[in-house]
Amino acid sequence: MSGFHNWLLEIAGGNYFLYIKRLSANDTGATGGHQVGLYIPSAIVEKLFPTINHTGVLNPSVLLTAHVSSHDCPDSQARAIYYNNRHFGKTRNEKRITRWGRGSPLQDPENTGALTILAFRIDEQKRDSPSVDIWVCASTNEEDVIEAAIGEIVPGTLIAGQILGGLSLQQAPVNHKYVIPEEWHQRFPSGNEIIRYAAGHYVKNSRDPDEQLIDRRRIEYDIFLLVEELHVLDIIREGFGSVDEFIALANSVSNRRKSRAGKSLELHLEHLFIEHGLRHFATQAVTEGNKKPDFLFPSAQAYHDAEFPSENLRMLAVKTTCKDRWRQILNEANRIPRMHLFTLQEGVSQAQYREMQEEGVRLVVPSSLHKKYPEAVRAELMTLGAFIAELTGLYAELP
């Protein structure tokens, strides 16, 4: 960890633009596609490489040095390019960074799901960034250091900014279309309160729990960010009397984000279970060794009843990302040999998935994310809708 801490201190003290995300299976090539490495949004490429933002010539590009500090691999000459052939009679119009180099951890399928930081050095004359320093987290401990500072980084989202700190990196634009209840101006609402309020803004034309979950998480998070802005923006504008005051506020924001992230997904699932008729479950029930699985079906009483058939027991663990963290669930319910794990991670490698299978873990993944998994394992993934349907049928005769 000391190497990682030293790297972070160096980056935080330098003039860098940070791009942070979790690697998807498309990024690493785990899906078997032909994408040439990590996807970076066009607007960020444009910001970092202004000289390629034109249509004067076909596909203008510039080279930059790509150095990987987290892994032992040679430097490479990456290429920022504007594929602008739509202006030359064809269809492509996108900006990308390619040529990450042979052996780059960015293109290793086993790093699917890993938290990754790209630190682009900013040119003081506002010219193109000359280099990028890369860290692909190799452990949950390294990931925890980052998320402790800036909050949970959910698969499919990105964070970009110039300073590594709780209030420095912009995670998502704040949507101001919601009218916040007046009492929330005086106190920060609980996660359940935000979800109940968000229910009045959900899209009504879907009864698919997979679609509902994705939509509801997005709306609830928009409202959370708006409430957060309401409580901290004025403080930031007023400035700080000391570094300690700034750190205290940054820690407060970070802790609240972590608390929200840890419970939000579970709360949404609980609401959807009830809404779709799955009412036989327990949350945070205690099993062996004071373990507390996220969801136990049909009840804690049934689990501890030796007469209740173990083949009719189910456990669902909930983790936004499952790389490495999936092993944490293996001993949460000894009576249940086959565990279910709900995740929002955008793919796993085939080797990771087979290891999960061997340990009796089956992934439950929203249907819209299935295409982000290797084709060889997609048929074995379970949708949220299928999970709910199976359990409502299994417990249909229970009172």
And the tokens for 68?
């990987």
Tell me the CB-side half-sphere exposure of residue 239, using CA atoms within 13 A.
Answer: 2
Q: What residue has token string 């930059």?
A: 64
Asked if residues 284 and 299 have their Cβ atoms less than 8 Å apart, the reply is no
Identify residue 94 by its one-letter amino acid code: E
Strands 158-161 and 282-283: unpaired
Asked if residues 81 and 60 have their Cβ atoms less than 8 Å apart, the reply is yes
Catalytic residue, chosen from 221, 303, 373, 395, is: 303
Reply yes or no on whether 16 is catalytic.
no
E strand or H helix that includes residue 318: strand 314-319
Q: How far apart are CA 224 and CA 231, in angstroms?
A: 11
Q: Which residues contact 79 (CB under 8 A, 6 or more apart)?
A: 61, 62, 63, 64, 97, 98, 99
Q: Environment class of residue 238 by beta-carbon count within 10 Å: exposed (0-12), middle (13-18) or buried (19+)?
A: exposed
Q: How far apart are CA 231 and CA 381, in angstroms?
A: 41
Q: How far apart are CA 141 and CA 147, in angstroms?
A: 10
How many CB atoms are closer than 10 A to CB 293?
24
Q: What residue has token string 């942070």?
A: 20
Strands 158-161 and 16-22: antiparallel
Q: What residue has token string 């935080």?
A: 12
Q: How far apart are CA 321 and CA 255, in angstroms?
A: 19
SS3 at position 48: helix
- Catalytic residue set: 303
